[in-house]
Amino acid sequence: MAKKWVAGYDAGEAIAAALDSNSRGMSAILNFLGEDTTDAKIVDQTVREYLSLMDLIGKRQVRGCVSVKPTQLGLAIDYDMCLQNFKRLTARAKELDQFMWIDMESVKFTEDTIAIYLELYKQYDMTGVAIQSYLRRSASDLLHIAEHGGKVRLVKGAYHEPEEHAFSTKEEVDANYVKLMRMLFESGSFFAIATHDSNMIEEAIRLSNDSTKEFEFQLLMGIRDELKNELTTKEFAVAEYIPYGSQWLPYSVRRIRERKRNLLLLARSLIQQ
């Protein structure tokens, strides 16, 4: 288990990590690991896992919510299957008065993910969706979501995409991140700035000085804990993204792409299996 980034194998360990986040002044965003699911039985098991997790969040009085990948709920199998499964989760979130985030995956799922999100948003407005600054289409997507009053988590993106769809240099990705962030401060409703990049965070703080927009910073479990403490000390809202489950390898590989020095940490985790 890549323990630096993953809470454990089961929901109990995830809830314990979430309560620890709460004790350090942060809310928690829980994700049951898994993606690109093509087995309908596994999809159904995943839906039941999330329903149980949401119940646990309420029962244990965790200050937090879940975040779900569309391909976990069947998007790689059938659009309508995924939509109906999300509606089940949204109904439970509404019943429990919990927020729910939708993660963004590779570009081949972007269009459908946004369509599903906007359909769910009609049912329950305490939902949000991730938008990736490395995609060329994201400014248009953000405007489309904003027109419907939707809520956005702004991330850089960590999937390999062809250059026709994605910016290829860090400078381009960063410039687009700043552009999208400014758009959120100008026209967004509640939104999240999800990054570990100090330059992006400093720009967000600067923009917030001239804005009354409600937003939060979101950072991954196990990365830049000192920054999380600094932000909470300054009384910014901070949420920690906490994944759990046995399907930890793809998630960990993406963390390595973001920060090469994480390779040694993953190697140690593999040796300890």
- Residue type (1 letter), 153: R
Report DSSP state, residue 73: G
How far lies 126's CA from each of 189, 203, 238, 265, in Å?
Answer: 11, 26, 17, 36
Q: Which residue has the tokens 């569309």?
A: 70
Contact, 207 vs 186, CB < 8 A?
Answer: no
Question: 20, 39, 60, 103: which one is catalytic?
Answer: 103
Place of tokens 């967000």: 204
List the Cα angle 96/184/35 in 5-degree steps.
55
From 92, 141, 153, 174, active-site residue:
153
Instruction: Clarify whether 206 is annotated catalytic.
Output: no
Task: Give start and end residues of each alpha helix (H) in 33-169.
Answer: 40-59, 79-96, 110-123, 138-147
Q: What span, in angstroms and rounded, lies between the C-alpha atoms of 256 and 14?
A: 22
- β-bridge mates for residue 219, sequence order: 240
Total residues belonging to the chain: 273
Catalytic, 103? Answer yes
d(CA 141, CA 176): 13
Neighbours of 162 (CB within 10 A): 8
* Residues designated catalytic: 103, 153
